[in-house]
């Protein structure tokens, strides 16, 4: 496992996102009860509200031990059109850019605590496609 970044993100509207900075299609919440929603180029993850403070976000590459008490919020793929993946909050203009390369990338997103709302988000980027 390689740690690509550790950030404190202000979750405006109780969400953080993992996305292609060149993408324009943001996913839409259906019920507000989802842990995460996604389009091909963006994953939005439900968190605590911004009035409750920043959310810890950690991005890892490769096999990674899952912290006890973490829940899978998303397991799928994200499409990058360019060299970078952005982690942050689109609404607040907060962007933490990570070099990853274009193409489809298998992503698993874990949140803690297992009961909502999330105060910690762990993003694991896998080298292999999802099974």
Whole-angstrom Cα Rg for the chain: 13
Pairwise CA distance, residues 121 & 70, whole Å: 9
* C-alpha dist (Å) from residue 92 to 9, 10, 12, 53, 102: 10, 8, 6, 14, 25
pLDDT at 118 exceeding the cut of 70: yes
The pLDDT value given to residue 103: 95
Whose CA is closest to 108, among 69, 68, 61, 41? 61
- Structure confidence by residue, pLDDT tens digits, 23-55: 989 999 999 899 999 999 999 999 999 999 999
Q: Mean pLDDT over residues 79-107, rounded?
A: 95
Pairwise CA distance, residues 82 & 74, whole Å: 22
pLDDT at 129 exceeding the cut of 50: no
Q: Mean pLDDT over residues 55-75, rounded?
A: 90
pLDDT at 59 exceeding the cut of 80: yes
The pLDDT value given to residue 69: 84
**Percent of the chain residues past pLDDT 70, beyond the cut:** 96
The pLDDT value given to residue 115: 77
Pairwise CA distance, residues 57 & 88, whole Å: 9
Structurally, at CATH architecture level, domain 2-126 sits in Sandwich (2.60)
Domain range annotation of the chain: 2-126
Q: Burial, 15: exposed, middle or buried (Cβ in 10 Å; 0-12, 13-18, 19+)? A: buried
Q: Are 50 and 10 in contact (CB under 8 A)?
A: yes
Choose between 64 and 101: higher pLDDT. Answer: 101
């Amino acid at each position: 496992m390689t740690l690509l970044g550790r950030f404190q993100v202000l979750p405006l509207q109780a969400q953080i996102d993992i996305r292609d900075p060149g993408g324009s299609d943001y996913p839409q919440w259906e019920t507000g009860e989802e842990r995460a929603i996604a389009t091909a180029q963006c994953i939005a993850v439900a968190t605590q509200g911004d009035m409750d403070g920043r959310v810890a976000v950690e991005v890892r590459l490769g096999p990674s031990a899952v912290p006890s008490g973490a829940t899978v919020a998303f397991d799928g793929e994200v499409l990058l059109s360019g060299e970078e993946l952005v982690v942050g909050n689109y609404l607040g203009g907060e962007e933490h850019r990570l070099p990853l390369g274009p193409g489809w990338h298998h992503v698993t997103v874990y949140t803690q605590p297992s009961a909502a709302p999330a105060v910690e988000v762990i993003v694991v980027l896998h080298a292999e496609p999802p099974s």
